[in-house]
Structure formats: C-alpha cells, structure tokens
Chains A and B, each alone.
Chain A
Amino acid sequence: AQKITQTQPGMFVQEKEAVTLDCTYDTSDPSYGLFWYKQPSSGEMIFLIYQGSYDQQNATEGRYSLNFQKARKSANLVISASQLGDSAMYFCAMREGGIDSGYALNFGKGTSLLVTP
C-alpha cells in the first residue's frame, strides 16, 4: 500500500503567488518524521523542510511552511511568494519505524510545479 500520496501530478502558479502542494501519509507508528524535497531538472534532491510527529507547531523555513494536520494525516507544503526558480519536482517523504528500518525514507510520486511569469 502506498504510504505517501501526492495527488497532484502537476501544478501551475503565477510568480509571486502562494501555492500549496498536497501530501497525505499512512502510518500506525506514533513516531515518524515528514520531509519535503525539491528536485530541479538537474536531478539533485534538495531538502526543504521537516516536521516531527510530536511537534506542536507547523515547521517553517523561509518561504516554505508545512501545514501539518495530524488527525487528517496530511502534511502539505506551502510555498509563499513563488519564484521562477521554484519550478521543479517536489517530493513528500516519511520516515517511520525503529532503527532496524535504517530510518529510510518512503517517497511519494511527486508533484511537478511550474511557476509562470
């Protein structure tokens, strides 16, 4: 079963506008972490933001914020004031389980974001 679901294959946003990328997850583990990565066309994976399952406040990193709704099991990424350089693939990922799992990340299939002038 898919543990991370990103329902938006592609999104458009106009420069300087805000955009929300959706992510829902599935786990029965009370201790987990949620991550967002950006992948530009060059292929590298760039870490953006992280949210722990016990964190009380939503994470923020500059123009990125994570809208964490634990009861709904959603962890949406909000990008404010979009820039042309934000055009990329965005992946939501989850880490769960004990140390035997190696704390490997499970990834969603990604959302392609295109920022237009």
Chain B
Amino acid sequence: DGGITQSPKYLFRKEGQNVTLSCEQNLNHDAMYWYRQDPGQGLRLIYYSQIVNDFQKGDIAEGYSVSREKKESFPLTVTSAQKNPTAFYLCASSPLTGTARSGNTIYFGEGSWLTVV
C-alpha cells in the first residue's frame, strides 16, 4: 500500500541521549515535513525538505536535525540539546506541483510518541 511509515510508534529517551525517528514514504512526493504536537498547541513545523540533500528549518528547529539522502526517507534526530522533547511527532509528505492554492494534500504518517525518562 502507498503511504508514509513512521517508526518506532513509541520511543523512550534518557536524558542526554540522541534518538532518531524514521520516516519513509512511497508516494513519490518531493516534499517531506516533520511536525511536533504538544497538547493544546496544534502542530508546529520542525523541518521540511523539498529535494534530496536539501532541507530548511521550520518554526521550532532548535535541538533537532534531519537528513534527506533519499527521496523517500526523511529521518529526524532529536538531540540532547532539545530540552523538552516529550511530544507526538508527525511526518508528512506532499507533491510540489502548482502553487500554494493548489489542492496538493499533505499526507501524514501515524506518528511517533517520544517520552523522556
């Protein structure tokens, strides 16, 4: 089936540890995104990538890093510099044709829960 696969579903991180969340898509979408969701905050953009080997910071990039070595893969590393990493993380992808008002839907993975222990 076509879609976006995130793993792991649940992840626990110890203080000072880096952890990596995986995101793979087989939709042949050019753009990929990482969002963070906290209770009552909605979704906030961490990083996005429009093309392989290129990515841009979103609104809350501090303490996170990404790579885009393949079109279908966009892993997110939560570094020890992220002081409050406990949250729900959502990966998404979208075609990049047309304009902002084009109906290119952003599709989401099922999310990953990260908890600091």
Residues of A in contact with B (beta carbons under 8 Å apart): 4, 9, 29, 31-33, 35, 37, 42-45, 47, 50, 52-54, 91, 93, 95-99, 101-110
Contact = CB atoms under 8 A, between A and B. Distances in A.
Interface string B15-52: 00000000000000001010100001111110011100
6 contacts: A35-B105, A47-B107, A91-B42, A96-B100, A104-B48, A104-B58
A103 B58 CA distance: 12
B111 A98 contact: no
A97 B113 CA distance: 30
Interface string B79-117: 000000000101010101001111111111111010000
Counting contact residues on chain B (CB < 8 A from A), the size range is 20 to 34
A86 B45 CA distance: 26
Contacts of A32: 100-101
B100 A29 contact: yes
Contacts of A109: 40-42
B48 A33 contact: no
Interface of B: 31, 33, 35, 40-45, 48-50, 56, 58, 88, 90, 92, 94, 96, 99-111, 113
Contact of B99 (A31, A44, A47, A107): A31
B56 A102 contact: yes
A45 B103 contact: no
Given A44-B109, A95-B106, A107-B42, 13 more contacts: A31-B101, A33-B101, A42-B110, A43-B110, A45-B43, A45-B108, A102-B96, A103-B100, A104-B33, A105-B45, A107-B43, A107-B44, A108-B42
Contacts of A102: 31, 33, 48-50, 56, 96
Contacts of B113: 43
Contacts of B103: 33, 50, 52
Nearest to A95: B100
A104 B44 CA distance: 10
Q: Which 6 A-B pairs have the closest CB atoms?
A: A45-B108, A52-B101, A102-B48, A109-B42, A107-B43, A107-B42
